[in-house]
């Protein structure tokens, strides 16, 4: 491969940096150019909603970079358009860049509060990037009398946990019947509901915020719920999930949807008619990929582990040539730290119809739970029991009959129970 060869990575976050490292690991000697719309070098996001909001340690979470990475960064520059025929990217500073091979890793952004005027209030926050975290941390340091968090996903719950650690009163408004229900299923979600309430959070379920009331300075002073109730709050966090950054790909003829950019099993980007686009790959939150483990279902996840692993496979395939392509598959996994608990999940509980605690107990707040769908093991959750998880991870990867691993000496009675379908 000639030294003049140029690999361009659009998106300078975890997936983009991981791909750059992987390109060097496989001996790629061409130029690597990372383009990122934020002004900072690649940084780690998971600590933002945990230790950074609490003010623990350094707020600088920039990721380790190997000394011999030899990559060029163009930061504070967004991509505006892509011409795959000309191998050209149009950038927000008016310049263009030509690639020999391209990785799309533009990830996601926080879904904003839908009312733009309200979202612009100085005490209405979202959390996705480093600047968001520092902004919100300053807001929390101002000792608001009550923080209102809208959204019962992991980010919302982690922020609520930080607020309690900071001694702040907090209301968590969740649209569904349980927090975290989509990700964890009804039994674990009900367990978390009790944990969250025990830790002093005013958890409001089946609650939707209709609008805010603001003072003369446009600062929110209260939220009005759909049922007419009023919650006084002087700090509001909209934790409504993420939107994929695909806008710059409009007009490029790619298979793009709200779930991201469709790729094949080799992380190669596909056109709207499902043809492989030469020399264009995607990885991380932006990629909508077929999972062999889950029957070639297309997955779109927002997980740290997927960003790293998929970027590595994509990078290898970027330089492999047709004969050397390797397939990507990955068992989804993630962790969350909240209310003093370490929660880890492997697999996808979506569509599971059974659940069983197989180690520990809900009462002790330390357990492993497994999820079954049509008699097969499809996911496992760990609460403060991480050392048991690898065995169950293997059972999930192999889709062993549910429940897996019965009769071990350290297990209590396993009593599978039906899993209710809950909309969160």
Partner 1 sequence: MSAISAKPGGLRVSVDLNRCQGYAQCCYAAPEQFALHGHEALFYDPAPSAEAWGAVERARVACPVQAIRLECPTADRDAEG
* Residue pair 170/202 in contact by the 8 Å Cβ criterion: yes
Q: Pick one of 115, 271, 337, 350: the residue that binds partner 1 (CB under 8 A).
A: 337
Instruction: Give the bridge partners for 359, in sequence order.
Output: 368
* Residue pair 303/331 in contact by the 8 Å Cβ criterion: no
Binding characters for partner 1, 61-100, by CB under 8 A (x = yes): xxxxxxxx---xxxxxx---------------x-------
How far apart, in whole angstroms, are the C-alpha atoms of residue 89 and residue 79? 7
Segment near partner 1 (CB under 8 A); pick from 166-174, 188-196, 200-208, 335-343? 335-343
* Residue pair 223/240 in contact by the 8 Å Cβ criterion: no
Q: Pick one of 13, 19, 32, 42: the residue that binds partner 1 (CB under 8 A).
A: 42
- 41 counts as binding partner 1 under rule CB under 8 A: yes
Output the smallest distance, CB 146 to partner 1, in A.
24
Site for partner 1 in 404-423 (CB under 8 A): none
- 344 counts as binding partner 1 under rule CB under 8 A: yes
Q: In what order do the strands lie in the sheet with 88-91?
A: 79-83, 88-91, 96-98
CA of 85: how far to CAs of 89, 101, 252, in Å? Answer: 11, 12, 9
Q: What DSSP letter does each residue of 252-287 carry, written as one string?
A: S-B-EETTEEEB-TTSEEEBTTSPEEEEEEE-GGGE
Q: Pick one of 5, 24, 44, 109: the residue that binds partner 1 (CB under 8 A).
A: 44
Binding characters for partner 1, 257-296, by CB under 8 A (x = yes): ----------------------------------------
From the CA atom positions of the chain, what is the Rg in Å? 22
3-state secondary structure of 310: helix
Segment near partner 1 (CB under 8 A); pick from 40-48, 147-155, 182-190, 289-297? 40-48
- 51 counts as binding partner 1 under rule CB under 8 A: yes
Output the smallest distance, CB 9 to partner 1, in A.
13
Q: Pick one of 265, 342, 350, 411: the residue that binds partner 1 (CB under 8 A).
A: 342
Choose among 192, 185, 190, 184: nearest CA to 334.
184
CA of 43: how far to CAs of 18, 52, 61, 112, 300, in Å? Answer: 11, 13, 5, 22, 22
Q: Pick one of 1, 55, 57, 232: the residue that binds partner 1 (CB under 8 A).
A: 57
Can you give the binding site for partner 1, defined by CB under 8 A? Answer: 12, 34, 39-42, 44, 46-47, 50-51, 56-58, 60-68, 72-77, 93, 304-305, 308, 333-335, 337, 340-342, 344, 366, 384, 386-387, 389
């Amino acid at each position: 491969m000639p030294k003049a060869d140029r690999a361009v990575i659009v998106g300078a976050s975890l997936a983009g940096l991981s791909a750059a490292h992987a390109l060097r690991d496989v001996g790629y000697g061409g130029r690597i150019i990372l383009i990122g719309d934020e002004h900072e070098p690649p940084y780690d996001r998971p600590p933002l909603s945990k230790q950074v909001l609490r003010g623990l340690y350094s707020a600088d979470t920039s990721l380790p970079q190997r000394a011999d990475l030899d990559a060029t960064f163009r930061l504070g520059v967004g991509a505006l358009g892509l011409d795959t025929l000309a191998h050209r990217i149009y950038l927000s500073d008016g310049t263009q860049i030509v690639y020999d091979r391209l990785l799309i890793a533009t990830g996601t952004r926080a879904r904003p509060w839908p009312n733009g005027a309200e979202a612009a209030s100085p005490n209405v926050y979202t959390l996705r990037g480093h600047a968001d975290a520092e902004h919100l941390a300053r807001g929390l340091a101002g000792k608001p009398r009550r923080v209102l968090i809208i959204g019962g996903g992991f980010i919302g719950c982690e922020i609520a946990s930080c607020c309690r650690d900071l001694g702040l009163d907090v209301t968590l408004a969740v649209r569904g019947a349980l927090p975290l229900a989509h990700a964890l299923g009804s039994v674990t979600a009900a367990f978390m509901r009790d944990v969250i309430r025990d830790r002093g959070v005013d958890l409001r379920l089946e609650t939707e915020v209709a609008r805010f009331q603001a003072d003369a300075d446009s600062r929110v002073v209260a939220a009005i719920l759909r049922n007419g109730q009023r919650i006084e709050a002087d700090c509001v966090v909209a934790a409504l999930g993420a939107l994929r950054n695909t806008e710059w790909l409009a007009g490029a003829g790619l298979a793009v949807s709200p779930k991201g950019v469709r790729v094949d099993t080799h992380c190669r980007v596909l056109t709207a008619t499902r043809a492989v686009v030469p020399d264009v790959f995607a990885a991380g939150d932006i990629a909508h990929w077929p999972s062999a483990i889950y029957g070639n279902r297309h997955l779109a996840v927002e997980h740290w582990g997927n960003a790293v692993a998929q970027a590595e496979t994509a990078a290898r395939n970027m330089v492999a040539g047709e004969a050397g392509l390797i397939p990507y598959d990955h068992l989804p996994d993630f962790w969350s730290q909240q209310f003093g608990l370490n929660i880890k999940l492997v697999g996808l509980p979506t569509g599971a119809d059974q659940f069983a605690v197989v180690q520990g107990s809900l009462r002790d707040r330390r357990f492993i739970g497994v999820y079954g769908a049509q008699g097969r093991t499809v996911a496992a959750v760990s609460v403060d029991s991480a050392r048991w998880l690898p065995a169950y991870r293997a059972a999930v990867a192999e889709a062993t009959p549910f429940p897996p691993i019965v009769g071990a000496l350290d297990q209590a009675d396993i009593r599978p129970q039906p899993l209710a379908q809950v909309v969160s």
